[in-house]
Amino acid sequence: MKQTTLCYIQRGSAFLMLHRTKKERDDNRDKWIGIGGHIEPGETPMDCILRECAEETGLTLLDCRYRGLVRFRNDAYPDEDMHLFTATRFSGDMIECDEGELAWIDKDRWFSLTLWEGDRIFLRLLDERDSFFELTLIYHGEALVRALLDGKEIHRSQEGGL
């Protein structure tokens, strides 16, 4: 199972997002996501997100906050547990990212972007909820078929589960 991290860095009402366009073989190709990556052996999720943010953006996070655990289950991709963070303070100068284009996106524009359907759920949770959450997103290919928040069903497609 993949263990990953993702962080949404806030500056005013905008959040730093990455439009994944540069890698041909990318599960997130053409999608907008936060900053993050795979946890390396011996790393904690916090170690990973601090490293990934520095590598991808040039920024050093000064107040990273662990907000939730998102479990992705999919019949087309490997299972993944993603540790979700936010940050509001940082230092350094932004660099060019080799995985796509970085942009400050106002949160009012989030849902007009090309996102995974489940990302729309956890972005709303980050915006509306202060407490830690556990979200399980079950996909059939690229279609979200079921979502459970803290163990309770919040979404089920017409087709049902897997």
pLDDT in tens, 110-162: 999 989 899 999 999 999 999 999 999 999 988 999 999 999 999 887 554 43
Model pTM score: 0.91
Q: What per-residue string of b and e applies to 35-48 under the rule 16 or more CB within 10 Å gives b?
A: bbbebeeebebeeb
Which amino acid, 18?
A: L
Residue type, 117: E
Q: What is the pLDDT of residue 161?
A: 40
132, amino acid identity: F
Q: Enumerate the β-bridge partners of residue 19.
A: 32, 101
pLDDT at site 20: 74
Structure tokens, 146: 């079921």
Superfamily, domain 2-116? Nucleoside Triphosphate Pyrophosphohydrolase (3.90.79.10)
Q: Tens of pLDDT along 9-40? A: 999 999 999 997 766 665 666 789 899 999 99
